């Protein structure tokens, strides 16, 4: 048993689908071209092979689709509905008694469906694919430039512990020249070791020294050890290939990171912004549909060129607003949730106002036509 989609809805969705798919194709080509442009120097120097390039493009495709889906929704709505408006089909539906909300209902449903698809891609596919792509880049192309990606940086762990790792061996899962500073307890303690092997949430340290300090900062106790195990409370993957950028993390991983490093300052703010963006960016598809639907009716005389031009302008405004809000959230000038959702909120308000304005105008316009064309006297 299934619900039949009304003929008018199917017709509108059919008009949206063509420009939507065209937009996806165009933006995929543009973004792939940008990736290849970035790799051009390494391709010319023979430092990256064709099969590596193909793998990299395949891994980058989910992230490209996360950007492309909302953008294509905007373009598809402007061009698809613009064509219907230019052919007076929207007015015909209005004369038939359909409200603007009813006419644009399939457009909003389409935007929400694309938003859901984008959310699933962004949460379950893109993080893994981005991680694979970045590891591929580090190993195959930029090994020299990325030797210090996860090393020589102090970072905070649970229990008032601070870690420092000089060098990481991803293949052997070994850390070299490790330092652990424990600030909890009555006296601080410093543990140094030549190497550490990671096992889930504990480290096996070898060739190290334990030092305890008094209130004045002088060493009050010092002892060597050949081997020692310490529970760090952090998944071992955080220090190897599993240590990820926000783009390589799922929302669940970002939430766990935020809980772990809740007092990390500006670095934590950046991760908090990225956590909320995991949901805000996909929802842009629904917001774009909300804004583009009434605009497509207002630009009916301009045709496809005006629709495409208007789409470019709207995208520029949206992504400028998104970049500014993201930067302000990263430095703490805006709350992370407001930083992520502010562009969507502003565009949604504009879309609602346009709908109200267009609904009022169209409600009056058909009345005049009914007096002229109405039933015979």
Q: How does pLDDT run along the chain (377 residues), one tens digit per residue?
A: 445 668 889 999 999 999 999 999 999 999 899 888 888 877 777 777 788 888 989 999 999 999 999 999 999 999 999 889 888 898 888 888 888 888 899 999 999 999 999 999 999 999 999 988 887 876 664 444 333 335 555 666 666 777 778 887 766 778 888 888 887 767 788 899 999 887 766 789 999 999 888 877 788 889 999 999 887 765 544 454 445 778 888 998 888 877 766 555 555 788 889 999 999 999 999 999 999 998 888 766 555 677 778 888 999 999 999 999 999 998 889 999 999 999 999 999 999 998 888 776 555 554 444 444 444 43
SS3 assignment, position 335:
coil
Tell me if 1 is assigned to some domain.
Answer: no
Each residue of 35-65: pLDDT tens digit?
888 888 777 777 777 888 889 899 999 999 9
Query: Are residues 209 and 73 located together in one domain of the fold?
Result: no
Domain finish residue from 199, 227, 242: 242
Query: Are residues 230 and 312 located together in one domain of the fold?
Result: no
Query: Are residues 216 and 360 located together in one domain of the fold?
Result: no
Angle at 173 between CA 167 and CA 174, to 5 degrees: 45
Q: Which two tokens stand for residue 374?
A: 């109405």
Q: What is the CA radius of gyration of the chain?
A: 28
Identify whether the C-beta of residue 357 lies closer than 8 Å to the C-beta of residue 290.
no
User: Which residues partner with 48 through β-bridges?
Assistant: none
Query: Are residues 200 and 118 located together in one domain of the fold?
Result: no
Query: Are residues 94 and 164 located together in one domain of the fold?
Result: no
Print the domain residue range for 339.
7-142+267-372
pTM for the full model? Answer: 0.70
Tell me if 251 is assigned to some domain.
Answer: no
Query: Are residues 327 and 203 located together in one domain of the fold?
Result: no
- CA distance linking residue 281 with residue 357, whole number of Å: 27
Query: Are residues 218 and 365 located together in one domain of the fold?
Result: no
129-140 as b/e, with b when 16 or more CB fall inside 10 Å? bbbbbbbbbbeb
Query: Are residues 50 and 116 located together in one domain of the fold?
Result: yes
Tell me if 201 is assigned to some domain.
Answer: yes
Which helix (H) or strand (E) segment is 222 a member of? strand 219-231
CA nearest to 273, candidates 312, 225, 315, 322: 322
What is the number of alpha carbons within 13 Å of residue 325 lying toward its C-beta? Answer: 24
- CA distance linking residue 64 with residue 52, whole number of Å: 18
Tell me if 348 is assigned to some domain.
Answer: yes
What is the pLDDT, as a whole number, of residue 109?
95
SS3 assignment, position 266:
helix
Structurally, the chain folds into a number of domains equal to 2
Q: Which one-letter DSSP state was computed for residue 301?
A: T
97-106 as b/e, with b when 16 or more CB fall inside 10 Å? eeebeebbbb
Tell me if 135 is assigned to some domain.
Answer: yes
256-292 as b/e, with b when 16 or more CB fall inside 10 Å? ebbebbeebeeebbbbbbbbbbbbbbbbbbbbbbbbb
Each residue of 233-254: pLDDT tens digit?
655 444 544 457 788 889 988 8
Angle at 300 between CA 101 and CA 71, to 5 degrees: 70
Query: Using DSSP, how many helices (H) and how many strands (E) does the chain show?
Result: 9, 6
């Amino acid at each position: 048993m299934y619900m039949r989609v009304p003929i008018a809805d199917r017709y509108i969705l059919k008009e949206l689908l063509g420009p939507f798919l065209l937009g996806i194709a165009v933006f995929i080509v543009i973004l792939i071209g940008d990736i290849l442009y970035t790799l051009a120097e390494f391709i010319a120097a023979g430092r990256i092979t064709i099969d590596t390039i193909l793998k990299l493009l395949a891994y980058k495709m989910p992230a490209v689709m996360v950007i492309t889906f909302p953008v294509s929704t905007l373009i598809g709505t402007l061009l698809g509905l613009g064509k219907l408006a230019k052919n007076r089909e929207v007015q015909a539906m209005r004369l038939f008694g359909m409200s603007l909300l009813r006419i644009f209902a399939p457009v909003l449903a389409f935007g929400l469906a694309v938003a859901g698809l984008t959310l699933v891609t962004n949460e379950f596919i893109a993080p893994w694919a981005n991680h694979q792509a970045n590891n591929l880049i580090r190993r195959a192309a930029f090994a020299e430039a990325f030797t210090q990606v996860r090393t020589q940086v102090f970072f905070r762990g649970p229990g008032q512990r601070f870690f420092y790792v000089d060098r990481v061996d991803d293949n052997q899962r070994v850390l070299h020249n490790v330092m652990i500073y424990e600030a909890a307890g009555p006296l601080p303690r410093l543990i140094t070791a030549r190497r550490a092997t990671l096992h889930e949430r504990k480290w096996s340290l070898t060739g190290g020294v334990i030092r305890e300090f008094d209130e004045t900062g002088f060493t009050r106790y010092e002892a060597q050890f050949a081997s020692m195990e310490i529970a760090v409370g952090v998944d071992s993957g955080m220090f190897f290939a599993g240590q990820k950028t926000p783009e390589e993390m799922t929302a669940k991983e970002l939430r766990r990171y935020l809980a772990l490093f809740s007092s990390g300052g500006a670095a934590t703010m950046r991760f908090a912004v990225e956590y909320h963006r995991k949901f805000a960016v996909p929802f842009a598809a629904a917001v774009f549909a909300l804004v583009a639907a009434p605009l497509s009716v207002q630009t009916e005389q301009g045709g496809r060129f005006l629709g495409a031009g208007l789409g470019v302008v709207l995208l520029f405004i949206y992504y400028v607003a998104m970049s500014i809000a993201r930067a302000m959230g990263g430095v703490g000038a805006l709350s992370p949730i407001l930083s992520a959702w502010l562009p969507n909120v502003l565009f949604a308000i504009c879309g609602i106002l346009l709908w109200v304005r267009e609904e009022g105008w169209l409600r009056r316009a058909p009345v005049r036509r009914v007096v002229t064309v109405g039933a015979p006297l």
